[in-house]
Amino acid sequence: MPPFVYEDAGFLTLQFQSCVVQSEMKADDPGLLTLSYTRTMMGFLLLNSSPKNIAMIGLGGGSISKWCYKELPATDITVIEINPGVIALREVFHIPQDGDRFHLVCGDGADYVAETSDEPEVLLVDGFDYDGQPPQLCSQTFYDNCYRALGPNGILVVNLCGLNDRVLLDRIQRSFPEQGIVVVLPEDGSNKIVFATKGDNRWLLDEPLLHVLTRFGNRTKTELCEAASSHLAAEIRT
């Protein structure tokens, strides 16, 4: 079934099946991160407040890509989306056009991490289809390739939402053994946001959160970091 757009009470949602929301946009504020899991994924800013380049697997309604494009003006952004039907809705969801620092590629995210030489500083994985999370985006090989693809001290952020999350957490841990992983539970929903770091990058869990947040001058970033950190270290595995 091709993706479709549903509009109600000033919000547009991207759906693959009725009543299952893949992405949500406020019609009069397209850049707002309305879903709590998207705000939580921005927790990578606690480790890298101004990444040189970001790669994203899964476009959806473009909530995360739009926010990063606006709030991180010095960051190069590459988005990989396998479904042409999702890409066809980019204008409906006010997704930026391709340019010097925004690139939307129609392809398989698993192929991207296996082949790329981009070395992104941040890699965000939020790829779902009609049946949920595609097998090629949650295999041990995929997470191994995510580790390889990231630049030195890179950060992997994965949105999990399924019955086999425990298995996937173990796979991510095996691929990112250096610093362990942090699992953050968003404010609502059944999502789990996983942060895994490469090299010497590590969470500043022994530093008071207020001290960390004062390093960000942009109020919007601070609010998002605070939301992501409200449940930070819900689970730490090393």
pLDDT along the chain (238 residues), means of 10: 73 68 77 85 86 95 91 96 90 90 97 98 88 89 98 94 88 89 78 88 53 48 50 39
- Tell me if 229 is assigned to some domain: yes
- Tell me if 201 is assigned to some domain: yes
What is residue 18's predicted lDDT score, i.e. its pLDDT?
61
Task: Give the single-character DSSP code of 138.
Answer: S
What is residue 2's predicted lDDT score, i.e. its pLDDT?
77
What is residue 47's predicted lDDT score, i.e. its pLDDT?
83
**Cβ atoms of 122 and 44 closer than 8 Å:** yes
- Tell me if 59 is assigned to some domain: yes
- Tell me if 159 is assigned to some domain: yes
Question: SS3 for 203?
Answer: coil
- Tell me if 13 is assigned to some domain: no
What is residue 232's predicted lDDT score, i.e. its pLDDT?
45
What is residue 59's predicted lDDT score, i.e. its pLDDT?
92
- Tell me if 20 is assigned to some domain: no
Catalytic residues: 126
Query: What is the domain count for the chain?
Result: 1
Task: Give the integer Cα–Cα distance in Å for 90 and 96.
Answer: 8
Question: SS3 for 129?
Answer: strand
Q: Which helix H or strand E contains 10, and what residues bound it?
A: none
- Tell me if 152 is assigned to some domain: yes
What's the CA dihedral at 157, 60, 31, 66 to 10 degrees?
60
**Cβ atoms of 43 and 20 closer than 8 Å:** no
Range of the domain at 81: 31-237
What is residue 217's predicted lDDT score, i.e. its pLDDT?
47
- Tell me if 52 is assigned to some domain: yes
**For position 49, which CATH number holds?**
3.40.50.150
What is residue 1's predicted lDDT score, i.e. its pLDDT?
67
**For residue 193, what are its two tokens?**
């946001």
Helix residue ranges per DSSP H, the chain: 36-41, 63-71, 84-87, 109-115, 140-149, 165-175, 209-213, 219-229
